[in-house]
A and B are shown apart, each in its own frame.
Chain A
């Protein structure tokens, strides 16, 4: 069997063996007294060195190698690389946590992020490959003609990719600071170095082969802890098969615990707290003054009595930390109020679909669930860094086949994430809830220290109620090794996997941005006569500039940018999907139609997001006060409107304009039979 493998497969088999051997060695060293901190360093240095070696060996000075890996990537490996390219730090760390918090509703992400690959397979990948240029703007420009559409496509590609890449680099900073205790900003620039060693010298060729290596590490790291946990809880190490039984136990625990006296009392206390904040906000600015005076009076009263100095200092700190002005008070108290409101709500049973007290609420949940799926699928099928990967296979047939491998490798992680969530919930409900706070397991305190777990004994009974515990979504994957009582080496493995997920996605995104700027803008628009050598110099310098810029932005810890990642799908979907699909399947689609469709679709999506999330922007000329959501849809589903508007506008304008003369030829070319693509 070994002999039947290709050379590449053998290389990666050796690589995996070396990696597993390395993990085993570290486990041994840890048992013999190597401190955890060193385990973290060892993982960081070892994996980044591996990537750097692959990156250096794959260096290239050939344009086709740099942009599309020479179109020599076999379907199987392209699938693996796409898997790593696609699964970001959010999939690796955040998804299981989202599923833990939202239960069934979180499955919209699982369905949406995989369903998109069906659209890629049926509607896009084979045609992109048969056309065979370098970028998505290339394709649109060849189909519709003219540089306007190229520029719009470049703008949308950069808009969707840049926020995404910043979030990945931020993720690297978080991981390195947490596991090898580097300072956050240092971690960000370590991440930058890790990204550059993969992509700078070898472009797509190097990125492809490091992404394959990164996929192997991330999938091993994702499956190992939950398999061990599953074995501990159920005696079966295949969590995907057995978590149904655990889910049943979770449901039983939920129906018993959620209605218990103590839980009801705790939720009532949170409701009272929320009311209190609401009152204080209503009575601003007076309430702030009263608060300050009250604390002042208390401090004076204490000072005249003979209590401990410590209590006075605590009160003084409270007074110092009071909001400075009514504006700040409103902001801070509103946040507190919403947090309290959240905790006062009865929790949702994990498996319940579309939860709600009334039929109307349930319908709104259902609409949001389906709309989110729609946006994520279409967005997945339109994100340029994923589509670009299908330019790299040798033939059209391989491109089609490679989508299957991509989805398979992605599904392996996505069927595991819900199991993580269910096991974590089982652990929380059976081993944390109802336990005296002094006797909680060690991992709770360890993660509370870094602020990912927080506990508040609001009813002061010394016992933890479910509503008194709040978990940051990231903690589910990160803490599973400790929940299952595994040595630190497994935690290090998880960190290495998260790092691989973030780095591989960042590489792909960075390459997309770079090729949009260097290939589409510089070469195609400004200097079509420039030599291939000079084009590569431009590409490499731009890569460096964009990477440093993205790392600098990430080092500022920009909160809003991070939440913008969820919108990248709506942005990409509404800008690209209608123009690409109509361009392939509808001969009547015209240049004017495509341009209008992209502008209207993208514009509507951005408008909806901005109006809903930030209220009005007076300086942009629209509205004061925020918009009522249309059909109860949240801003992450803004693409529903943008994509629909993009299709309608494209069709309407196309019907009243004439198709470009080159379009028929183009369509005849990409719709002809045969697996061999055009020579580029």
Chain B
């Protein structure tokens, strides 16, 4: 494809950023679980807490943000001919 539509460019950028965040949370933070366990959080060692609960909430946040932002992009660029 020679020209890339602005809608697709923005979609791609959003996807890339959120994916990067996902990689950092999933693999970056988990890598240091041992070190994070030194800290306490509501009685939990933080590394354990993050893997058991924190990260799941972050995942939900990522999906909500993506869904909202894509709805905006859709409204902005949809010219009605489908």
Nearest CB in chain A to that of B45: its residue: A351
Whether B24 is near chain A, meaning CB under 8 Å from some CB there, is no
Give the chain A neighbours of B49 by CB distance below 8 A.
244
Write out, one digit per residue, whether chain A residues 487-501 have a CB within 8 A of any chain B CB (1) or not (0): 000000000000000
Q: In the bound complex, how far is the Cα of B52 from the Cα of A110, in angstroms? A: 7
Q: In the bound complex, how far is the Cα of B9 from the Cα of A130, in angstroms? A: 18
B-to-A contact residues, CB < 8 Å: 1, 5, 7-8, 11-12, 15, 18-19, 22, 26-27, 30-31, 33-34, 37, 41-45, 47-49, 51-53, 55-57, 59-60, 62-64, 66-67, 70-71, 73-74, 76-79, 82
Q: What are the 7 tightest A-B residue pairs by CB atom distance, in nearest-first order? A: A244-B43, A353-B33, A673-B77, A244-B44, A674-B78, A107-B51, A673-B7
* 19 pairs, CB–CB < 8 Å, chain A vs chain B: A104-B33, A104-B48, A107-B51, A111-B26, A118-B22, A126-B70, A351-B45, A353-B37, A353-B47, A354-B33, A362-B34, A369-B30, A370-B31, A396-B74, A403-B63, A404-B64, A415-B52, A673-B79, A675-B71
Q: In the bound complex, how far is the Cα of B60 from the Cα of A587, in angstroms? A: 30
Interface of chain A, main secondary structure:
helix
Write out, one digit per residue, whether chain A residues 221-260 have a CB within 8 A of any chain B CB (1) or not (0): 0000000000000000000110011011000000000000
Interface pick from A153-161, A305-313, A511-519, A663-671: A663-671
Interface of chain B, main secondary structure:
helix
- Evaluate contact between A118 and B56: CB separation under 8 angstroms: no
Whether A546 is near chain B, meaning CB under 8 Å from some CB there, is no
- Evaluate contact between B53 and A354: CB separation under 8 angstroms: no
- Evaluate contact between A676 and B82: CB separation under 8 angstroms: yes
Nearest CB in chain B to that of A75: its residue: B67
Q: In the bound complex, how far is the Cα of B15 from the Cα of A19, in angstroms? A: 42
Given contact pairs A107-B48, A245-B43, A585-B15, a sample of 6 additional A-B residue pairs in the complex whose CB atoms are under 8 Å apart: A104-B47, A115-B59, A244-B49, A373-B30, A397-B70, A401-B67
Q: In the bound complex, how far is the Cα of B59 from the Cα of A115, in angstroms? A: 7
Interface pick from A187-195, A406-414, A475-483: A406-414
Whether A484 is near chain B, meaning CB under 8 Å from some CB there, is no
Nearest CB in chain A to that of B36: its residue: A353
Whether A672 is near chain B, meaning CB under 8 Å from some CB there, is yes
- Evaluate contact between B71 and A122: CB separation under 8 angstroms: no
Give the chain B neighbours of A110 by CB distance below 8 A.
51-52, 56
**The one of A118, A240, A248, A668 that contacts B53, using a Cβ cutoff of 8 Å:** A240
Whether A352 is near chain B, meaning CB under 8 Å from some CB there, is yes
Q: In the bound complex, how far is the Cα of B78 from the Cα of A672, in angstroms? A: 8
Nearest CB in chain A to that of B80: its residue: A674
Give the chain B neighbours of A241 by CB distance below 8 A.
42
- Evaluate contact between B22 and A115: CB separation under 8 angstroms: yes
Give the chain B neighbours of A245 by CB distance below 8 A.
43
Give the chain B neighbours of A671 by CB distance below 8 A.
5, 7-8, 11
Contact size class for A? 35 or more
Nearest CB in chain A to that of B41: its residue: A244
Whether A114 is near chain B, meaning CB under 8 Å from some CB there, is yes
Whether A121 is near chain B, meaning CB under 8 Å from some CB there, is yes
Nearest CB in chain B to that of A678: its residue: B82
Give the chain A neighbours of B31 by CB distance below 8 A.
366, 370
Whether A27 is near chain B, meaning CB under 8 Å from some CB there, is no
**The one of A123, A353, A373, A401 that contacts B15, using a Cβ cutoff of 8 Å:** A123
**Smallest beta-carbon distance A418→chain B, Å:** 4
Give the chain A neighbours of B71 by CB distance below 8 A.
397, 400, 675
Whether A377 is near chain B, meaning CB under 8 Å from some CB there, is yes
Whether A170 is near chain B, meaning CB under 8 Å from some CB there, is no
- Evaluate contact between A587 and B51: CB separation under 8 angstroms: no
- Evaluate contact between A675 and B78: CB separation under 8 angstroms: yes
Give the chain A neighbours of B67 by CB distance below 8 A.
121, 397, 400-401, 403-404
Write out, one digit per residue, whether chain A residues 41-63 have a CB within 8 A of any chain B CB (1) or not (0): 00000000000000000000000
Nearest CB in chain B to that of A398: its residue: B67
- Evaluate contact between A111 and B7: CB separation under 8 angstroms: no
Most chain A CB neighbours (cut-off 10 Å) among B33, B56, B70, B76: B56
**Smallest beta-carbon distance B37→chain A, Å:** 6
Give the chain B neighbours of A126 by CB distance below 8 A.
70
- Evaluate contact between B74 and A117: CB separation under 8 angstroms: no
Most chain A CB neighbours (cut-off 10 Å) among B1, B22, B57, B67: B67
Q: In the bound complex, how far is the Cα of B73 from the Cα of A352, in angstroms? A: 44
**The one of A121, A373, A408 that contacts B26, using a Cβ cutoff of 8 Å:** A373
Give the chain A neighbours of B18 by CB distance below 8 A.
118, 122
Give the chain A neighbours of B33 by CB distance below 8 A.
104, 353-354
- Evaluate contact between A111 and B51: CB separation under 8 angstroms: yes
- Evaluate contact between A404 and B63: CB separation under 8 angstroms: yes
**Smallest beta-carbon distance A587→chain B, Å:** 5
Give the chain B neighbours of A369 by CB distance below 8 A.
30
- Evaluate contact between B56 and A397: CB separation under 8 angstroms: no
